[in-house]
């Protein structure tokens, strides 16, 4: 359906003209934005910032200044509570850099060039454990923001393999099969990363990348065996791949697939975020805000991911 | 209640006097082809009293015995005067000649009408198809719905949007009837073209206020489109070749002067023309779009008192996309199928009956296939209807109409099936919504005094929502949903209501009148849209146990006056409209939420109101004709779940709407016309702020519809050339030149759409510059971009007739 609307939009755009316009908007009241994540074996990370005025020009410096560093952030696992400390990108231990990079959308290399501070802890007792529920509490400017997330039992894929296309030898999608447990409400997320490098030695995918519609739930296949495939999200930014082959993996790629179980609140956030990113103001979509799982009108998400990693060699 | 009914019946009491009376009845038809004329007037010359023909061209006038002079007239035709000495009931069938034809046999005068001032209808407009054909048309495709949008109180949201909007009502609140059968989607290709092929259409009548009791089922308006009946005198062919489509119509007598048939077809061929020019690398490669439609109508006069009609329409839009490399195949067809059988019977010249059986079907489907994964989505509405309507005209003071309507609705709002090879996915059961809609009405158009005419009516509608039906009760994530099952024909919910209707005309003098109208309506079908523009995917659904019927009332008041010997018609109308139980999808509903659920579980209900003033000045006669229409209006909606329950403007809230339509007949061969439109921009819901998630920009939207696009304005012009009706031929015997009628008639229309190349807003979107994370490309900024559809577009259409 998305492809179809893309074509429609394109048809309209081709027969049409596009110009910049200015729109008068009422004064904007920024809100607190929470990007919080916890995974098994990793500490909780919480990045706090303010949302920004739509048309305000924003430099890297503005963005850095926009992060909130004067909050008090607590995580509770149902028994104990810990106050997270402010850790800045220049002082993050190497083993946690990939997860911070992923959270921020930076490559580890890019992470060196910016100074962003997030709330976390290096106490191994607070590293994520499957089966636990984690409560988040943020105090800032006299207001309190609360949320809860879970680290659910991960569900392994039955199989995962590179499915070469008969019409395009050497290229294909990543095909997977899953037996969904009985009981509705299971939700999943798919992310991938090619481990290959360009000729200059730089990594093809510096971080895990989520494809379009990276999350889904079992509404339509509860308790059934289900098979699907995803395209290669990294290929669209890869200038070494010609346009007609974008979207495909190719023989020789080594791909890490992160297959996570998420709870339904997180799924809803990811689903709406995907919808918003895909729509980008399209007339075929209705304007939808992304539902946050944080109280007090905060934006963003406090997300627990329970992943299983697979590595696929495309051959 | 008893008192109310007594008052109503009091008006229906037939005024009698001792003088003997007789009835003149008959039909008015076009002399050239036998087409019946709708709304033609029959007046007792010099008195202003009289009647008008109904949808079937039938009239009835009861007068005292004695001598009378009758004037038969219709716009675009020459009036005929007939003197009669009334001694018994008589049938007088009149064939009116076109204004351009010359006839000698009867006394002919061309006079302007004063119907605008005299009749009791408020908020009613008729359009003559021949006039519409000379106006500028988008890509040369003449479109009655587009022309309607040039009238005050009627608007479109913008180019590329389906349907039309009347006095602040939604597109679902217009009852569109093609030969009395309901049309659910009157648009092709997102509203760029209407489903009505101008060669197949005879007459278009829109009622936007003071809706008479004989119509019901919608809140905002009734659009009656009547198809041509076909030439019952001789066989003929007409057609047209345009830039993107062609039309062909064949018509002729089944039996001369008794019955006729007309078949009309139209197809676009942009898909065929473009295919060779789309390179394989283009994103359009593999995609194609076309639409076609077919109209058929037959009528036969079985006896002097009986006539039957069979009408049919079938139209389809088909979009297809095939990407053989990706193994991807999508087909998206949508369209209407409509059929109507009607039987007219005249009992005694005073009592006329019409019995109709109608069928309407609208369906939209989406089929995709990729690597053994098949997805099919279908939404479909079917109406099976029956109507009986009586018109009783005891004398020229009364026109009493009564009848009963029945519709069986079968709606499948959205059904999805999906399978991957042998695995069939759980997408929910095929959901069918079934209901019976019944209505009874009575109305009387009555001349209470010389200066006071009223149309008083009452409609009573009933609605039965019945099984079989499964009600999904959602119990939240992780819990088993429950289903309540209703058996076939089990009554789930019953609604009913009285719908009083009134319109009045107070004649101030020969040239001016004041009119007032009130109507209360129930609407049992709804349309909900998930997108900010209207699409064929918009879902129609029925009133259910959860979704109550829409209710609305409208009061309107108008001052109508004609001047310069009825050459000019002018009016000012003000209205207020209140609407309840309007529907919207709940905020945050995504398209896939429709699956495995009842559609009405996703809806929210609210109210709306609209207030406005319409100014209309029309020149109806002469070489120079046209109109200026201006509307000043406010349309708001109030939903508890949207905007914290505060009123917000509807997306088609238009503060100012101006249309200027001018047509000048330079000579019998040349016509020039132009239209100019100015309208306040549409409302939009815009983001106010943004934030980052995993490096992606997410938007925070502000209040509903608080931003307006730029105003819409456009000027179109058209030139039409008609060939001469006669040619000269040398008589072989006398050697002299003689005038002979041409068998093949041609006309060519050159039109220019958007003459001054205005970039009108179609939609807005956002684009960002720079990278928020790396700073590459400079500072990160978000810019609003406006997409406009059509620049200046010339087109040429050749029309022919033989």
Q: What is the DSSP string of A43-112?
A: --EEEEEE-EETT--B-HHHHHHHB--S-EEEEE-SS-EEEEEEEEGGG--GGGHHHHHHHHT--HHHHH
Task: List all residues of chain B from 432 to 451 with a beta carbon under 8 Å from chain A.
Answer: none
Closest partner residue to A104 (CB to CB) among B695, B775, B788 is B695
Q: Which residue has the tokens 């309901």?
A: B182
Percent of chain A with pLDDT over 90: 49
Confirm if B540 and B592 have CB atoms less than 8 A apart: no
Task: List all residues of chain A from 230 to 259 with a beta carbon under 8 Å from chain B.
Answer: 243-244
pLDDT at A299 over 90: yes
Higher pLDDT, A9 or B422: B422
Higher pLDDT, A126 or A112: A126
CB contact under 8 Å between B480 and A184, yes or no, is yes
Distance from CA of B540 to the nearest CA of A (A): 17
Q: What residues of A are in contact with residue B532 (Cβ under 8 Å)?
A: 283, 285-287
Judged by a CB distance cut-off of 8 A, whether residue B782 touches chain A is yes
Quote the CA–CA distance of B799 and A128 in Å, as a whole number. 76
Judged by a CB distance cut-off of 8 A, whether residue B686 touches chain A is yes
Distance from CA of A83 to the nearest CA of B (A): 23
Judged by a CB distance cut-off of 8 A, whether residue A161 touches chain B is no
Which pLDDT belongs to residue B136?
80
Which pLDDT belongs to residue B775?
59
Q: B85 burial class (0-12, 13-18, 19+ CB within 10 angstroms)?
A: exposed
Q: What residues of B are in contact with residue A288 (Cβ under 8 Å)?
A: 587-588, 590, 701
Closest partner residue to A106 (CB to CB) among B366, B691, B695 is B695
For chain B, how big is the Rg over CA atoms in Å? Answer: 28
Which pLDDT belongs to residue B425?
65
The CB density around residue B429, as the number of other CB atoms within 10 Å, is 11
Q: Which residues of chain B have pLDDT under 70?
A: 1-19, 48, 100-113, 157-158, 160, 190, 278, 280-284, 325-327, 371, 420-429, 475-481, 531-537, 591-596, 773-778
Confirm if A145 and A63 have CB atoms less than 8 A apart: no
CB contact under 8 Å between A271 and B590, yes or no, is yes
The reply to whether the predicted model has a pTM over 0.80 is yes
Using DSSP's 3-state secondary structure scheme, residue B428 falls into coil
pLDDT at A107 over 90: no
Distance from CA of B313 to the nearest CA of A (A): 27
Q: Where are the beta strands (DSSP E) in chain A?
A: 17-21, 32-38, 45-50, 52-53, 72-76, 81-88, 117-120, 133-140, 143-150, 159-165, 168-179, 187-194, 215-217, 225-230, 249-250, 254-262, 299-304, 306-313
Quote the CA–CA distance of B695 and B230 in Å, as a whole number. 65
Which pLDDT belongs to residue A291?
92
- Scanning every residue of chain A, which has its alpha carbon at the shortest distance from the alpha carbon of B695? A105
Judged by a CB distance cut-off of 8 A, whether residue A212 touches chain B is no
Judged by a CB distance cut-off of 8 A, whether residue A215 touches chain B is no
Which pLDDT belongs to residue A75?
97
Percent of chain A with pLDDT over 70: 91
Buried/exposed B682-719: b ≥16 CB within 10 Å, e otherwise: bbbbbbbbbbbbbbebbbbbbebbbbbbbbbebbbbbb
Confirm if A249 and A173 have CB atoms less than 8 A apart: yes
pLDDT at A32 over 80: yes
Mutation target vs A (from B477, B592, B792; most A CBs, 10 A cutoff): B477
pLDDT at A308 over 50: yes
Cis amide leading into B361 (omega within 30): no
Mutation target vs A (from B279, B319, B698, B768; most A CBs, 10 A cutoff): B698
Judged by a CB distance cut-off of 8 A, whether residue A286 touches chain B is yes
Judged by a CB distance cut-off of 8 A, whether residue B279 touches chain A is no
Distance from CA of A239 to the nearest CA of B (A): 17
Mutation target vs B (from A14, A107, A186, A287; most B CBs, 10 A cutoff): A287
Which pLDDT belongs to residue B1?
45
Using DSSP's 3-state secondary structure scheme, residue A276 falls into helix
- What do you get for the CA distance between the two ends of chain B, in Å? 60
Higher pLDDT, A226 or A294: A294
CB contact under 8 Å between B790 and A1, yes or no, is no
Confirm if A276 and B699 have CB atoms less than 8 A apart: yes
Judged by a CB distance cut-off of 8 A, whether residue B475 touches chain A is no
Which pLDDT belongs to residue B592?
66
State mean pLDDT over A83-101.
Answer: 80
| Cα B556 to Cα B220, B609, B610, distances in angstroms | 13, 14, 12
Confirm if B628 and B659 have CB atoms less than 8 A apart: yes
Judged by a CB distance cut-off of 8 A, whether residue A294 touches chain B is no
CB contact under 8 Å between B532 and A283, yes or no, is yes
- pLDDT tens track for A169-200: 999 999 999 999 988 789 999 999 999 998 88
Distance from CA of B526 to the nearest CA of A (A): 18
Which pLDDT belongs to residue A13?
45
Closest partner residue to B766 (CB to CB) among A222, A264, A281 is A281
- pLDDT tens track for A252-290: 999 999 999 999 999 999 988 988 887 765 656 677 889
Judged by a CB distance cut-off of 8 A, whether residue B237 touches chain A is no
Dihedral over Cα of B275, B279, B285, B289: its sign = negative
CA dihedral B35, B41, B45, B48 (to 10 degrees): 180
Using DSSP's 3-state secondary structure scheme, residue B23 falls into strand
- Scanning every residue of chain B, which has its alpha carbon at the shortest distance from the alpha carbon of A23? B784
Q: What residues of A are in contact with residue B776 (Cβ under 8 Å)?
A: none
Q: What residues of B are in contact with residue A262 (Cβ under 8 Å)?
A: none
Q: What residues of B are in contact with residue A301 (Cβ under 8 Å)?
A: 693
Distance from CA of A1 to the nearest CA of B (A): 9
CB contact under 8 Å between A281 and B692, yes or no, is no
Distance from CA of A185 to the nearest CA of B (A): 5
Task: List all residues of chain A from 181 to 210 with a beta carbon under 8 Å from chain B.
Answer: 183-185, 210
pLDDT at A150 over 90: yes
Interface ipTM above 0.85: yes
Task: List all residues of chain B from 338 to 367 with a beta carbon under 8 Å from chain A.
Answer: 366
The CB density around residue B532, as the number of other CB atoms within 10 Å, is 23
Which pLDDT belongs to residue B428?
62
Mutation target vs B (from A10, A14, A60; most B CBs, 10 A cutoff): A60
Which DSSP category does A124 fall into? G
CB contact under 8 Å between A283 and B531, yes or no, is yes
Quote the CA–CA distance of B416 and A46 in Å, as a whole number. 40
Q: What residues of A are in contact with residue B420 (Cβ under 8 Å)?
A: 226-227
Instruction: Give the count of Cβ contacts less than 8 A between chain A and B.
Output: 236
Which pLDDT belongs to residue B606?
95
- Scanning every residue of chain B, which has its alpha carbon at the shortest distance from the alpha carbon of A301? B693
Which DSSP category does B324 fall into? T
Extract the tokens encoding B286: 């593999």
CB contact under 8 Å between A221 and B591, yes or no, is no
Task: List all residues of chain B from 637 to 676 with a beta carbon under 8 Å from chain A.
Answer: none
Q: What residues of B are in contact with residue A243 (Cβ under 8 Å)?
A: 281
Which pLDDT belongs to residue B283?
60
Confirm if A114 and A59 have CB atoms less than 8 A apart: no
């Amino acid at each position: 359906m998305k492809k179809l609307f893309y074509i429609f939009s394109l048809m309209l755009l081709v027969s049409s003209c596009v110009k910049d316009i200015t729109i008068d908007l009422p004064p904007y009241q920024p809100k607190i934005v929470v990007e919080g994540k916890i995974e098994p074996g990793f500490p909780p990370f919480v990045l706090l910032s303010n949302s920004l005025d739509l048309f305000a020009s924003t430099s890297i410096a503005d963005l850095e200044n926009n992060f909130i560093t004067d909050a008090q952030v607590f995580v509770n696992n149902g028994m104990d509570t810990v106050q997270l400390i402010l850790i800045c990108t220049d002082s993050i231990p190497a083993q946690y850099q990939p997860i911070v990079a992923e959270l921020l959308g930076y490559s580890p290399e890019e992470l060196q060039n910016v100074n962003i501070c997030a709330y976390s802890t290096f106490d191994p007792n607070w590293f994520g454990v499957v089966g636990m529920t984690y409560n988040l509490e943020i105090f800032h400017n006299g207001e309190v923001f609360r949320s809860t997330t879970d680290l659910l039992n991960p569900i392994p894929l039955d199989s995962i393999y590179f499915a070469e296309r008969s019409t395009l030898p050497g290229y294909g999608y990543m095909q997977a099969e899953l037996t969904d447990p009985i009981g509705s409400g299971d939700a999943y997320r798919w992310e991938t990363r090619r481990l290959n490098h360009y000729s200059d030695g730089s990594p093809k995918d510096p971080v895990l990348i989520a494809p379009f519609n990276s999350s889904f739930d079992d509404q339509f296949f509860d308790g059934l065996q289900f098979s699907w495939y995803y395209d290669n999200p990294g290929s669209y930014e890869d200038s070494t791949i010609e346009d007609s082959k974008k979207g495909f993996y190719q023989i020789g790629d080594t791909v890490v697939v992160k297959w996570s179980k998420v709870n339904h609140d997180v799924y809803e956030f990811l689903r709406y975020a995907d919808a918003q990113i895909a729509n980008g103001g399209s007339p075929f979509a209705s304007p939808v805000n992304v539902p946050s799982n944080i109280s007090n009108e905060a934006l963003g998400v406090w997300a627990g991911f329970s992943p299983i990693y697979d590595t696929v060699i495309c051959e | 209640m008893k008192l109310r009914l007594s008052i109503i019946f009091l008006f229906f009491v037939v005024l009698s006097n001792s003088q003997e009376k007789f009835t003149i009845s008959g039909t008015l038809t076009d002399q050239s082809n036998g087409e019946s004329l709708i709304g033609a007037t029959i007046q007792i010359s010099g008195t202003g009293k009289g009647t008008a023909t109904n949808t079937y061209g039938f009239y009835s006038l009861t007068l005292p015995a004695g001598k009378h002079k009758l004037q038969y007239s219709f716009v675009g035709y020459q009036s005929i005067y007939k003197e009669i000495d009334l001694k018994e009931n008589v049938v007088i069938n009149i064939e009116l000649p076109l204004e351009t034809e010359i006839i000698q046999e009867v006394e002919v005068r061309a006079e302007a009408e004063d119907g605008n001032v005299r009749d009791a209808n408020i908020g009613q407009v008729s359009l003559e198809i021949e006039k519409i054909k000379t106006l500028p048309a988008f890509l040369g495709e003449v479109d009655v719905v587009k022309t309607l949008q040039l009238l005050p109180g009627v608007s479109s949201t913008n180019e590329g949007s389906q349907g039309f909007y009347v006095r602040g009502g939604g597109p679902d609140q217009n009852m569109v009837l093609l030969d009395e059968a309901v049309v659910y989607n009157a648009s092709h290709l997102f509203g760029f073209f209407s489903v009505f092929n101008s060669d197949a259409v005879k007459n278009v009548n829109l009622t936007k206020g003071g809706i008479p009791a004989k119509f019901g089922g919608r809140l905002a308006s009734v659009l009656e489109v009547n198809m041509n009946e076909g030439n019952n005198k001789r066989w003929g062919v007409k057609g047209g070749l345009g830039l993107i489509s062609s039309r062909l119509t064949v018509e002729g007598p089944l039996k001369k002067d008794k019955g006729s048939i007309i078949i009309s077809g139209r197809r676009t061929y942009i898909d065929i023309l473009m295919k060779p020019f789309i390179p394989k690398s283009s994103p359009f490669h593999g995609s194609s779009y076309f639409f076609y439609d077919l109209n058929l109508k037959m009528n036969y006069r079985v006896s002097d008192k009986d006539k039957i009609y069979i009408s049919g329409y079938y139209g389809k839009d088909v979009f297809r996309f095939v990407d053989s490399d990706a193994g991807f195949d999508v087909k998206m067809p949508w369209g209407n199928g409509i059929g109507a059988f009607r039987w007219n019977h005249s009992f005694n010249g005073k009592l006329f009956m019409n019995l109709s059986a109608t069928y309407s079907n609208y369906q939209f489907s989406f089929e995709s296939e990729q690597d053994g994964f098949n997805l099919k989505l279908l939404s479909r509405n079917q109406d099976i209807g029956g109507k009986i309507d009586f018109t009783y005209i005891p004398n020229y003071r009364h026109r009493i109409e009564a009848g009963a309507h029945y519709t069986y609705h079968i709606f499948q709002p959205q059904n999805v099936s999906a399978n991957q090879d042998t695995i069939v996915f759980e997408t929910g059961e095929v959901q069918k919504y079934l209901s019976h809609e019944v209505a009874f009405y009575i109305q009387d158009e009555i001349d209470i005094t010389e200066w006071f005419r009223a149309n008083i009516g009452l409609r009573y509608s009933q609605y039965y929502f019945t099984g079989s039906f499964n009600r999904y009760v959602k119990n939240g994530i992780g819990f088993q949903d429950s289903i309540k099952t209703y058996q076939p024909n089990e009554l789930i919910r019953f609604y009913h209501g009285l719908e009083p209707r009134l319109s009045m005309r107070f004649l101030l003098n020969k040239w001016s009148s004041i009119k007032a109208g009130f109507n209360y309506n129930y609407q049992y079908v709804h349309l909900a849209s998930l997108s900010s523009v209207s699409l064929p995917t918009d879902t129609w659904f029925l009133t259910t146990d959860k979704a109550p019927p829409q209710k609305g009332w409208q009061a309107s008041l108008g001052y109508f006056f004609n001047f310069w010997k009825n050459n000019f018609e002018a009016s000012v109308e003000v209205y207020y409209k209140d609407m309840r139980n309007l529907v919207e999808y709940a905020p945050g509903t995504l398209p896939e939420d429709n699956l495995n659920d009842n559609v009405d579980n996703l809806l929210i209900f609210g109210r709306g109101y609209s207030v406005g003033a319409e100014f209309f000045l029309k020149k109806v006669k002469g070489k120079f004709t046209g109109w200026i229409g201006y509307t000043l209006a406010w349309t708001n909606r109030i939903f508890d779940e949207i905007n914290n329950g505060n009123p917000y403007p509807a997306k088609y809230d238009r503060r100012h709407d101006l249309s200027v339509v001018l047509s000048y007949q330079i000579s019998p061969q040349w016509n020039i016309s132009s239209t100019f439109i100015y309208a306040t921009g549409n409302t939009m819901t815009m983001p106010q702020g943004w934030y980052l998630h995993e490096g992606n920009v997410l938007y925070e939207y502000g209040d509903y519809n608080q931003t307006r696009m730029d105003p819409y304005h456009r000027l179109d012009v058209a030139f039409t050339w008609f060939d001469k009706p006669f040619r000269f031929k040398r008589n072989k015997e006398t050697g002299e030149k003689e005038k002979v009628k041409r068998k093949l008639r041609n006309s060519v229309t050159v039109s220019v759409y958007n003459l001054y190349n205005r970039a009108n807003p179609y939609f807005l979107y956002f684009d960002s510059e720079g990278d928020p994370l790396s700073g590459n490309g400079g500072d990160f900024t978000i810019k609003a971009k406006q997409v406009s559809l059509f620049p200046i577009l010339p087109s040429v259409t050749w029309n022919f007739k033989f």
